[in-house]
């Protein structure tokens, strides 16, 4: 039985807690949030016997836990993960892994010194349709990747940011639409198409001027080491939340991920995932539970983590280069 705790009891923590409540070999023994009422609500809904804390250091000192799920604002990820690793506590960390490459190096060093492991939650890699695209490319059946297109066309209101103490600020969120909403799609693009060699990108704030100091829109042209190119567009200035789209054109087929389905040469594949959670927002996907199962199974078997610090930092490295580009070519 793995004894588990959650720090940060906001929206995404609901998805973590529900998934853990369905795992018979995991016990949620403690929850922590700076707002005690939020931690109490999570406890009452998913783990009535769990202890409640408002300070992570106090929880780590008082509780004997095997795994810490970190669901806090981005700027706290590195500090909290390192605190757990120093106590040899395994970490399941929400994206992004960190907000700077310096933090990535610090976190990688902390894991190297620890007996514990860390896994980052890029849960969309576990969805059947995304796994199928990866398999077709990796096996060679799709043929070499020739080009790609990705878009995230969502909407976020002024209230979304004003009602949060950390969203919308570079110092605490680490960016805007790219690092918060669109990083999952960027991760899938890199996972399927490989490493980026060069890119050119621009960012803008179209509809939240005076509200946030980060971008609500980004567009970029990426050139991969293979020579293939991808056009990338992400925004939260769209009037509605439209389906995320990822199109990968290969020598033998064109694959399009859209509307929760995979289309190969225009034909829907109707791939179905086996796990569905009721908590959380629809655009978070349903991959968390599958990722968690794999994470805990690998812990039991002593295997490497599926998405470690270095793997998760690939998307961060690219988006940081997008910020630095300002329309100029950047070589990674």
Span 10-33, pLDDT tens digits: 989 999 999 999 999 999 999 999
Give the chain's end-to-end CA distance (angstroms, integer): 43
pLDDT cut 70: percent of the chain above it: 96
Is residue 51's pLDDT more than 60?
yes
CATH of 2-123, one of 3.40.50.720, 3.40.190.10, 3.10.20.340, 3.40.630.30: 3.40.50.720
Specify burial of residue 21 (Cβ count, 10 A radius: 0-12, 13-18, 19+): middle
pLDDT of residue 283: 46
CATH class given for the domain over 125-269+308-331: alpha beta
Whether residue 47 is predicted with pLDDT greater than 50 in this model: the reply is yes
Q: Is the pLDDT of residue 202 over 90?
A: yes
One fold for both 2-123 and 125-269+308-331?
no
Lookup result for tokens 């070589």: 331
- Per-residue confidence (pLDDT) for residue 258, from 0 to 100: 92
- Give CA–CA dist 94/98, Å, rounded: 10
> Where in the chain are the domains?
2-123, 125-269+308-331
- The residues, any chain, with a CB within 8 Å of residue 158's CB and separated by 6 or more, are 208, 211
């Amino acid at each position: 039985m793995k004894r588990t705790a959650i720090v940060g009891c906001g929206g995404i923590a609901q998805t973590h807690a529900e998934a853990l409540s369905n795992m018979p070999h995991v016990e949620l023994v403690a929850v922590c949030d700076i707002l005690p009422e939020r931690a109490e609500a999570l406890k009452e809904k998913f783990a009535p016997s769990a202890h409640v804390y408002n300070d992570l250091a106090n929880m780590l000192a008082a509780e004997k836990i095997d795994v810490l799920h970190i669901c806090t604002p981005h700027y706290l990820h590195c500090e909290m993960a390192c605190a757990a690793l120093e106590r040899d506590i395994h970490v399941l960390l929400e994206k992004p892994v960190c907000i700077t490459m310096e933090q990535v190096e610090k976190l990688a060093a902390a894991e190297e010194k620890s007996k514990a492991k860390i896994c980052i939650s890029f849960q969309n890699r576990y969805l059947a349709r995304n796994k199928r695209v990866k398999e077709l490319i990796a096996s060679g059946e799709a043929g070499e990747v020739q080009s790609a297109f990705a878009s995230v066309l969502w909407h976020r209101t002024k209230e979304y940011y004003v009602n949060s103490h950390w969203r919308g600020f570079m110092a605490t969120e680490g960016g805007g639409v790219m690092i918060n909403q669109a990083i999952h799609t960027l991760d899938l693009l890199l996972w399927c198409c490989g490493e980026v060699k060069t890119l050119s990108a621009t960012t803008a704030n179209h509809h939240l001027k005076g509200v946030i100091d980060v971008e609500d829109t980004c567009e970029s042209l990426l050139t991969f080491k293979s020579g293939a190119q991808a056009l990338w567009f992400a925004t939260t200035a769209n009037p509605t939340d439209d389906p995320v789209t990822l199109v990968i054109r290969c020598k033998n087929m064109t694959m399009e991920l859209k509307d929760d389905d995979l289309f190969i040469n225009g034909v829907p594949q109707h791939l179905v995932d086996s796990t569905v959670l009721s908590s959380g927002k629809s655009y978070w996907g349903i991959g968390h539970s599958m990722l968690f199962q794999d994470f805990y199974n690998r812990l039991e078997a002593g295997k490497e983590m599926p998405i470690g610090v270095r793997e998760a930092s690939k998307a961060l490295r690219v988006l940081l280069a997008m910020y630095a580009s300002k329309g100029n070519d950047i070589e990674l």
